[in-house]
Amino acid sequence: MGSNYFRPRGALARTFYDKLHKDHQLRNMDKSQWYLVDEKEMKGLSLDLWGKFHKCELDDETESFLDNCFDTSDSFCWQLWLTFANSVLSWFLSPTSINGLLGRGSMYVFSGTQFKQLIDLSNDGLLLDSLLDVGAGDGSTTDRIKRYFNKVYVTEMSKPMKWSLANKGFIVLDELTWNESSVKFDAITCLNVLDRCDRPLQLLDSIQKTLKPTGVAIVSFVIPFNPYVEFGGNDTHDPAELLPISAKTFNQEVNNFVGKVLIPNGWEVLRWTRLPYLCQGNIQQAFYWLNDAVFVMKPKQL
């Protein structure tokens, strides 16, 4: 008899059965692999970038997020309701706006401790003045790093997400005119936005112009780089500006981003790392993840 003989026959029972097996695999997977880069692929990465790599590790805050993902996903009735609501709302709203309305699908890029290490903020008693989080989503990542700043500003294209951000007490700037503000920022985060905006080079230029002279930008994107414009693009969802990043390996895409995008546009990389881009799961499994390259950089001094 094949193993399928023992699988439940009803659709919901099969979904629950499959979820148990997937979540068991997720709990027992080697999560240390999320943070590694292949040192054998030296040809894909410049020696200068190797020296600037900062290796992160799975920490308590990340573990807590994953535990919460399991707890939320195990609420089977709640997940059924979310699945139904998503199917109805998808006729009228974008996926990002649906997540904002339903309070689901929170993303996780780094913990507060990982962020502190990346920007090299060593003095616990010293707060930076201002942070701008471009494309902040529901503010879950912003929440983890707000402790290091006196004032936190955000931008977001989705109206439901903007409501969520305002309710959390963040200063919501207009998503089209934020770069015209007289305010300059100590740090600007732009996390997994470059592959979702119509003009990523223009966005990087705006970030550079709104940083304080001593400020830093923290930029991340998913590898493999796969642009898809959800808001403000054309019917094909292709960006007006296409970044020359795509390559065969993680290291090569990192190298392309630095060599073909950052350096020609006046940026200097201070540190970079590899992190899992985590997302709360659904009725099928507890969480999902993608490979994220994260860069701490500043405008190159002339």
Q: Say what the pLDDT of residue 99 is.
A: 56
Q: Say what the pLDDT of residue 48 is.
A: 86
Q: Where are the alpha helices (DSSP H) in the chain?
A: 11-28, 47-51, 60-73, 76-89, 95-102, 112-118, 140-145, 159-167, 200-210, 250-256
Residue 112 sits at φ, ψ, to 5 deg, of: -60, -40
Q: Say what the pLDDT of residue 98 is.
A: 52
Of 296, 300, 287, the closest CA to residue 25 belongs to: 287
Helix and strand element counts for the chain (H, E): 10, 8
Q: In the Cβ-directed half-sphere of 55, how many Cα atoms lie within 13 Å?
A: 11
Q: Say what the pLDDT of residue 2 is.
A: 46
Q: Say what the pLDDT of residue 151 is.
A: 95
> Could you give all domains of the chain from N- to C-terminal order, each with its CATH number?
47-299 (3.40.50.150)
Other Cβ atoms less than 10 A from the Cβ of 148: the count is 19
Other Cβ atoms less than 10 A from the Cβ of 14: the count is 12
What angle is formed at CA 291 by the lines to CA 286 and CA 294, rounded to 5 degrees?
120
Q: Say what the pLDDT of residue 237 is.
A: 79
Q: Please tell me the distance from the alpha carbon of residue 258 to that of residue 263, in angstroms, as a whole number.
A: 6
Q: Say what the pLDDT of residue 189 is.
A: 98
Question: In a structure prediction context, what are the per-residue pLDDT tens digits for the chain, which is 302 residues long?
Answer: 444 445 566 555 566 667 778 888 999 999 999 999 987 765 667 778 888 999 999 999 999 999 988 887 656 655 555 565 566 556 655 666 555 554 555 789 999 999 999 998 765 556 789 999 999 988 999 999 999 999 999 999 888 889 889 999 999 999 999 999 888 999 999 999 999 999 999 999 999 999 999 999 999 999 999 998 876 655 777 899 999 999 989 999 999 999 999 999 999 999 999 999 998 877 778 899 999 999 999 999 75
Note the pTM of the prediction, 2 decimals. 0.86
